[in-house]
Structure 1
Amino acid sequence: MDSFTLNKAAGAVLMVLILTMGVGIVSDIIFHPTIPGKPGYEIVVASAEDSTSEVGAVPEVVPISERLVEASAEDGAKVAKKCAACHDFTQGGANKVGPGLWDVVGRKPGSHEGFGYSSAMTAFGEENPEWTYEELDHFLESPKNFISGTTMGFAGLRKPEDRADLIAYLREQADSPAPLPTE
């Protein structure tokens, strides 16, 4: 290899190094990096007194006794379609995945004949003599949260109006409907 070839190779390497350094200098001139005074991100936690908090308060739910006054059993029949896959609403209807719900308002929890209830529901029935409107409301909102250990796989009804309509419908599914609460 002659000296001219070596000079060309050394010149090429030197030119690449100079170009790389030049591009770095020019990019620093064009793009100004901002270096934070304090590294990381600050997490701001709103205090209870802070009125600028974006988290709103949980709306107050009207008691079931007041919601039942305006509840519609017809609308409750529509909501009950979500339950029809597992429950029967007719008098003398057969148990399905869940027990029959005829005359459930005022009935002792975990007492429908011929249905195998979970131990959690049976224990709840031993402590509570009957399904009250308020208990049904809380149970329908979130069954697993109200009775821990129940085998009912339903997630619950989040809207208070839907729960009131369904309870009004369940109330009518009896020979003699339970009286409405007065409280």
Structure 2
Amino acid sequence: MITRAFVFVFAFAASTGIAVAQDVEAGAVSFRKCTPCHNIGPGATNKVGPLLNGLEGRHSGSVAGFNYSAANKDSGITWDKATFKSYITDPRAKIPGTKMVFAGIKNEKEQDDLWAYLSQFKADGSKK
């Protein structure tokens, strides 16, 4: 009986880990839409948009060396999953006056996957 319970718990944990890995991988694929304007990871630099290292917990408009719109700097946003999802659905609706020209990602699963990918990067570009 204990062995069956252990096998079940182990199988459940393993399947959960695989699902998370797949979400990050799907997020990496989704991030390709962002790469014309954004960089992430070791050695990332600002492009047309700011680098996205350390996004989770960061205040909007705060990446050094990037020329943000006043709307973005003054938005009062601190990035977390819920705020990101609201933003990425329609950036110009979330921050009227933003310079970001992007139609948005409406699919909630894709938003979750993209957040899983982005939020794994620390401010220095290394992974958590």
TM-score strictly above 0.5: yes
- Separation in 1 of the partners of 2:65 and 2:43? 11
Asked if 1:158 corresponds to 2:106, the answer is yes
List gaps (5 residues or longer) in structure 2: 1-18
Partner in structure 1 of residue 79 of structure 2: 131
Q: Which amino acid aligns with 1:149?
A: G
By how many angstroms is 1:176 displaced?
6.5
2:95 maps to 1:147: yes
Aligned to 1:25: none
Select the structure of larger CA radius of gyration: 1
Which residue of the partner structure matches residue 109 of structure 1?
60
Task: Say how many residue pairs are matched.
Answer: 106
Report Cα offsets for 1:49-79 as digits up to 9, x if no partner. Answer: xxxxxxxxxxxxxxxxxxxx86701000000
Contact 1:89–1:101, Cα closer than 8 Å, also in 2: yes
Structure of greater relative contact order (alpha carbons < 8 Å, 6+ residues apart): 2
| 1:167 corresponding residue in structure 2 | 115
CA distance in 1: counterparts of 2:116 and 2:41, whole angstroms? 15
CA RMSD between the two structures: 1.7
Name segments (4+ residues, structure 1) moved above 6 Å. Answer: none
Residue in 2 that maps onto 1:98: 49
Q: Is the 8 A contact 1:92 1:102 kept in 2?
A: no
- Listed one character per residue, the Cα deviations across residues 109-163 of structure 1 (whole Å, up to 9, x for unaligned) are 1100100000100111xx23x2121110000100001111101001100101111
- Write the distance in 2 (CA, Å) between the matches of 1:101 and 1:120: 18
Query: Which of 102, 122, 127 is 2:73 aligned to?
Result: 122
C-alpha distance in structure 2 between counterparts of 1:97 and 1:122, whole Å: 16
Q: TM-score, normalised by structure 1?
A: 0.54
Report the TM-score, using the length of structure 2 for normalisation: 0.77
In the alignment, does 2:24 pair up with 1:73?
Answer: yes
Distance in structure 1 (CA, Å) of the matches to 2:83 and 2:65: 23
**Percentage of matched positions with identical amino acids:** 35
Indicate conservation of the 8 Å contact 1:121/1:147, yes or no: yes
